[in-house]
Amino acid sequence: MKKIALFASGSGSNAEKIADYFADQEGVSVSLVLTNNPKAGVIDRARRGFGTGRVHAPVVVFDRPTFYQTNQITELLQNQAVDLIVLAGFMWLVPGSLVQAFPNRIVNIHPALLPKFGGKGMYGHFVHEAVVAAGEPESGITIHFVNEHYDEGAVIYQASCPVAPTDTPDEVARKVQVLEHAHYPRVVAEVLASL
């Protein structure tokens, strides 16, 4: 059995798409959901079994000192024999000790075509606002491995969407989210299969 741990800080729509994708697959389970936000929507989604209602994984809520000043999260993931860590809207930089414990086994999705519009503070609406302000003709998603720096790990997959001159950041966000939901679960499955 290959085990996935999902990290999310917000509503959890990508986490839900991933959990639902694997709900009927033999040999793969979402074994943990972790969040740094005690009010994150992903908690409610996980507790009801995500969209299918059949993926019941324990939820772990942690704070900044636990994540950065102890090895509790790394040890938890190791003790659970997690094969792949998937960041699905997780907003904190992953500590080097966790990256080293799971080399090329932590993936993230970024709502732009890296290396453009990446780095500290570039997430969610900040990315889409920057894309529109720059007059970019396209945006998209980048799925990449995680290293010790924001958005600098090796790229696994990219997909793009057009950005019209009249598009607002909210319209770009909607286009990008369609790509996220369409591609992230499949790419996670491909990475998992390669382990």
* Residue 12 annotated in ligand binding: yes
Beta strands 106-110 and 138-145: pairing type?
antiparallel
Which residues pair with residue 162 across a beta bridge?
138
8 Å CB contact between 32 and 57: yes
* Residue 71 annotated in ligand binding: no
- Residue 14's CB is within 10 A of a number of other CB atoms, namely 24
Is 110 considered catalytic here? yes
Q: How far is CA 157 from the centre of its chain?
A: 13
* Residue 147 annotated in ligand binding: no
Distance set, CA 7 to CA 19, 60, 75, 170 (Å): 12, 9, 15, 24
Amino acid at 13: S
* Residue 41 annotated in ligand binding: no
Q: What SS3 state is found at 43? A: helix
Choice among 110, 128, 144, 183 that is catalytic: 110
| Annotated binding-site residue numbers for (6R)-10-formyltetrahydrofolate | 108
Residue ranges of the annotated binding site are 12-14, 108
Catalytically annotated residues: 110
